[in-house]
Structure 1
């Protein structure tokens, strides 16, 4: 502490500093404790709400994953069935279109026979050669009437 001497030889009076004012809150210290308790309770409630939100979101996401896995399994089952059916149909088509199978159907069900090379006749025409079928005027008239009738019927039934 410093002592100041005045020109008269006396010491200067001590100046006291004013004490800071303390605001009195209703309830005093009890009010301050209540505010702290309320803030702590609010933080606890927020923490619990956040934790519950996380738990609900995890449970929901697990349920959604389980649902999607079920859909994936159903689709895989359908794909496997479709692949099996495709393989079966491809085998059937291969069997039907094979040369031996076609020959059996042609000979057995349709009564066709293979052509013998001796049955084939080759005709060579000259550039100016034309084969004409001779017809009578009566046949031409009947043919024209028939064509006209077919055209008329075709235009009536679109």
Structure 2
């Protein structure tokens, strides 16, 4: 993305120049948007487990930046001619299970015909602009490996 020409926007707190899991955009002195998008291939044979893992992975970027997830959109790639619809349904159900546990509202999604199944989500959340956590500052006062787990994962 380094070759893209983007207009300057002073409201962008965290953008694509960093290695963070998402972007942060200033809205008000109290609220900034945190946005992330993650798509993965199946790390598990069970379709529902795959969906859950993908959703937790997508949600984790919002949490890692200090945010609270609010809404999500499904992104599913699948071979329409060879994948049973029930399998895709189970993947989506696993994702919905994780969203429900996080209190995150599914607002829509998009599907793409592909040669193999992939699934993920675009997640939007909020964070106080002064409380944004960044990869570049993760080591300030501690180790970059210091992690606070606030909710059960997967």
Q: Structure 1 or 2: larger strand share?
A: 2
Q: TM-score, normalised by structure 2?
A: 0.16
The structure with higher relative contact order (CA 8 Å, sep 6+) is 2
Q: Structure 1 or 2: larger helix share?
A: 1
